[in-house]
Structures are given as structure tokens and as C-alpha cells.
């Protein structure tokens, strides 16, 4: 059981689905800054480093038709945050493209494969809930699950102040 009194599994799963799909899409587009707010800074750093390694090899990773299923959630409460460990099955077409020739260099561009993934989500105990998310810089309303960057002032939305973000994720 969750210690998060407001925890609703269905809502959590649909948000998690959105976040993960957005992250895979951002990796594919090489625009991970737009999903930075979904990730703990240490995870974001790891993702950026991994993408840089691909860039150095003149390759990019492509995820298509991403689908996530069979969420098994394990809740725990730590000193300053609530944690949800999610075991999921990701189905996707995954391959690497050469950025020079645009040819597939590894993976399978034609069929989906399944890979089990573990993700850890955390929400700070001192987080607060908001009805209308706004940019802390200029007050513009933010579409948190659209883009984490304020369209007006460019500030990254700090989702960790309000909700679960991803602490760990394999890909």
C-alpha cells in the first residue's frame, strides 16, 4: 500500500506512460531538454551523457511505436520522499541510425521488441499540489505533459516541487 494518501494508481500509470513516451520521443529527436523536468538531475545527466556517446559515434537512437504495459508498483516511504518502483514491459521498435548515411547501423527497424524495464519514481514529502501549473519565473501557465520549458521565459518547470519524477530508468 502507498503512504501517499492521494495516490491513484490509474492516474499515476497514465502520467508515467506519458512521461516515458515523451522521454523516448525526445531521445529520438535529440531534444531531451524538453523532458528534463520529468527526471531527477542525476538521471538527466546520465541520459545526456549517453546521447553524447552516440553523437560521437555519429549515430542516433530511434524509438518508434512505444507502448508500455504491465505496471507492477512497489511503494515505499523514505525519510524525505515517497518512492514508487515500477516494473514495466516496454514494447518498441528500437534501432540506431548513422547520422552520416541515415542507414540503420544496429537494431531492427521493422519489428517491435519487448524489454522489461525498471523505473523508480520519487515524490518529495514536502511537495505541494497545484491545480494550474505556472512558471515560477513569469507566471505563464505550463502544459507540464506537453513541454517542461516555459514558452515565455524559457525556464525549466520544476515538476519535482509538485509530483513524482523519475529517479532511475534503464533504456
Of 137 and 146, nearer to Zn ion (C-beta) is 137
Min dist. Cβ of residue 6 to Zn ion (A): 27
Min dist. Cβ of residue 29 to Zn ion (A): 22
Min dist. Cβ of residue 30 to Zn ion (A): 24
Min dist. Cβ of residue 138 to Zn ion (A): 3
Of 29 and 153, nearer to Zn ion (C-beta) is 153
Of 169, 34, 32, the C-alpha closest to 88 is 169
Min dist. Cβ of residue 146 to Zn ion (A): 14
Dihedrals φ, ψ of 118, to 5°?
Answer: -110, 135
Of 77 and 152, nearer to Zn ion (C-beta) is 152
Of 26, 43, 30, 45, the C-alpha closest to 148 is 26
Of 30 and 138, nearer to Zn ion (C-beta) is 138
Chain residues that interact with Zn ion, rule: CB under 5 A: 135, 137-138, 140, 150, 152-153, 155
Amino acid at each position: 500500500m502507498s503512504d501517499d494518501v492521494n495516490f491513484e494508481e490509474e492516474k499515476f500509470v497514465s502520467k508515467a506512460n506519458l512521461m516515458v513516451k515523451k522521454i523516448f520521443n525526445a531521445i529520438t529527436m535529440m531534444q531531451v531538454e524538453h523532458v528534463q523536468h520529468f527526471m531527477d538531475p542525476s538521471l538527466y545527466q546520465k541520459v545526456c551523457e549517453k546521447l553524447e556517446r552516440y553523437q560521437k559515434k555519429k549515430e542516433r537512437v530511434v524509438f518508434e511505436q512505444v507502448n508500455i504495459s504491465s505496471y507492477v508498483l512497489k511503494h515505499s516511504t523514505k525519510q524525505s520522499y515517497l518512492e514508487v518502483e515500477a516494473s514495466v514491459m516496454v514494447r518498441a521498435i528500437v534501432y540506431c541510425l548513422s547520422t552520416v548515411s541515415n542507414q540503420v547501423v544496429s537494431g531492427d527497424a521493422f519489428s517491435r521488441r519487448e524489454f522489461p524495464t525498471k523505473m523508480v519514481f520519487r515524490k518529495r514529502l514536502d511537495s505541494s499540489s497545484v491545480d494550474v501549473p505556472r512558471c515560477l519565473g513569469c507566471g505563464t501557465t505550463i502544459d507540464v505533459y506537453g513541454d517542461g520549458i516555459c514558452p515565455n521565459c524559457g525556464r525549466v518547470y520544476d515538476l519535482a516541487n509538485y509530483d513524482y519524477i523519475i529517479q532511475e530508468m534503464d533504456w
